[in-house]
Structure 1
Amino acid sequence: MPRSTSEVFDSHLNLRIDGDLERDLVENYSEKVVLLTVNSNMSGHDAIRASAARLREQPPGAKFEFVAKQVNGPHALMIWRATSQRFDDVKGADSFVIKAGKIVSQSIRYRLVAG
């Protein structure tokens, strides 16, 4: 039986906190995951890798805080913020569609505020 939306979502968050992107991809993401952001419309694990790299570069050394999370059926939402030396605040929201125990769609939106 596939994992529930909450189980996949919690696993994703924990692995990202641990910095284990590759394990997160294998355990939690469909190989055909669709990623939508303000500047990308891509699919596959390489899309998630590119997005993660971009986020690491923009606020280098950021400290992340998960503000809220919601799960409803196959849908999940995470509200987050981060601070770094380069930016005062990063306000973000990620939404997910999780089916058959894998993330099949993710959208990301965040706003960088210069320090």
Structure 2
Amino acid sequence: MAHTVRGEAGVGGRGARVPGRPRAGRRVPGCGQAGARVRAGGPRGTTGTVRTTQDVIEAHLEYRLAGDLERDLAENYSPEVVLLSWGEGVRHGHDGVRFLAGVLGTYLPDGSYRYEDVVSDGRFGLLRWEGRGPRTEVRDGVDSFVVEDGVIVAQTIHYVAERDGG
């Protein structure tokens, strides 16, 4: 069964929370795996089962909104993640995520993101988003995810960045 959530917050907004984010140990109806439980202590914790795709994407968004890339990498990304980006080609691993986050940061250095929708089913997820920086608008953002064993193993990234005024 697919699960959808919507959220909005400014970049660097401490304590930002994506609506619908489940707490550890709480039942998550309709989130990819029937009756799945959120694992306490991150994807490699010792209690419960592995987090659902929805859980991982929502945690990813929370850490990014808080400006905590390193914690996002540690908890939500496989060290061998494969990233496909129309503008930047193929990247691998945590260094690839850091590189692509840096590219996006050139467009939105102190801007804000708006997450339109998160939809997941099984190990697949899709995120629609947009952003605004001091001189740049980012629109038509769409990221897709493949999550296995509670971490992102593949991600595609697409967005259109336009300078204000054209």
| TM-score category of the 2 structures, normalised to the smaller one | over 0.9
Greater displacement, 26-35 / 89-98: 89-98
> Counting helix residues as a fraction of each chain, which structure ranks higher?
1
* CA RMSD between the two structures: 1.1
> Counting strand residues as a fraction of each chain, which structure ranks higher?
1
Whole-angstrom CA distance in 1 between matches of 2:125 and 2:138: 23
CA deviation digits over 1:52-83, x for unaligned, max 9?
Answer: 01101123221110011101110111100111
Whole-angstrom CA distance in 2 between matches of 1:96 and 1:11: 13
CA deviation digits over 1:80-100, x for unaligned, max 9?
Answer: 011122113433111100011
Aligned ranges for residues 31-110 of structure 1 at < 5 Å? Answer: 31-38=79-86, 39-110=88-159
Counting aligned pairs with the same residue, the percent is: 37
Q: Which residue does the alignment assign to 1:24?
A: 72
Which consecutive residues of structure 2, in runs of 5 or more, have no partner in the other structure? Answer: 1-48
Higher relative contact order (CA 8 A, sep 6+): 1
Whole-angstrom CA distance in 2 between matches of 1:15 and 1:89: 20
Structure 1 consecutive aligned stretches of length 4 or more whose deviation exceeds 3 Å: none
What amino acid maps onto 1:53 in structure 2?
Answer: G
**With structure 2 as the length reference, what TM-score do the two structures score?**
0.66
Note closer, same or farther for the CA distance 1:100–1:86 as it changes in structure 2 (3 Å cut).
same
CA deviation digits over 1:3-22, x for unaligned, max 9?
Answer: 11111111111111111100
Q: Which residue does the alignment assign to 1:9?
A: 57
Rg comparison, structure with higher value: 2
Greater displacement, 86-95 / 36-45: 86-95
